[in-house]
Amino acid sequence: MSAIEDAMVVAARKYYKTEEDLRAKFNQDTGQVDVFTVHLVVEEVTDPKKEISLADAKKKNPAAEVGTEILGPKPTDVLGRIAAQTAKQVILQKVREAERDNIYNEYHTRVGELVTVIVKRAEGPDLIVDMGRTEAAVAEARAIEAGNIQHRRALARGYQDGGPRGKRSTGNRFARGCQPGAAVV
């Protein structure tokens, strides 16, 4: 749900072209995402886009005190097609990040482990291998010539941890380069 809320905040900020603090809340009863401006109640306003005076806040909410936040609704029915596309892109990006983090969490504990991978293709000096849920690049320096191993398979000595944001794979990266069918040590 936070991905949807974040997407609506991005879309609303883009549509309204504002620097106000915005917050979204998913209403599970109606299925609608409501967007609100957030103003901090202060004694003296220095930034009217982010702050509201105590007197003005009391008009909106009699229980308001200095240091509390006042939420003001922003209409979302006017956001339109461009905002919907922006929201879609934000949601897709959040899904990709979650998948990348899941794959990293699955493989980062297996550094140094011997694994069997399937060679998919060679790209220049790199050998792209299928590890099951993800692909990785294998380096020529980490390979030994062993001919074809069971129909384009390669053995990999271990993972080289590239972090959750690895350059070529989804975070689980071997060093670069290797020949198809070579055993990796």
What is the distance between the terminal CA atoms of the chain, rounded to a whole angstrom?
44
Cβ burial, residue 184 (10 Å; 0-12/13-18/19+): buried
CA gyration radius, the chain? 26
Residue 10: the pLDDT is 84
Residue 27: the pLDDT is 83
Does this model's pTM top 0.75? My answer is no
**Tens-place pLDDT, residues 125-146:** 778 888 888 888 877 666 655 4
Q: Is the dihedral of CA 16, 22, 26, 27 positive or negative?
A: negative
Check: CB of residue 71 under 8 Å from CB of residue 25.
no
Residue 36: the pLDDT is 92
Range list of H helices, 61-151: 80-107
**Tens-place pLDDT, residues 51-98:** 999 999 999 888 889 999 999 998 888 887 877 788 888 889 988 998
Residue 134: the pLDDT is 84
**Tens-place pLDDT, residues 10-26:** 888 888 888 889 998 98
Tokens 């790209």 belong to which residue? 123
Residue 96 makes CB contacts below 8 A (sequence gap 6+) with none
Range scoring the smallest mean pLDDT among 17-31, 32-46, 94-108, 147-161: 147-161
> Which among 95, 142, 141 is positioned nearest to 117, based on CA atoms?
142
Tell me the pLDDT of the chain averaged across its residues: 76
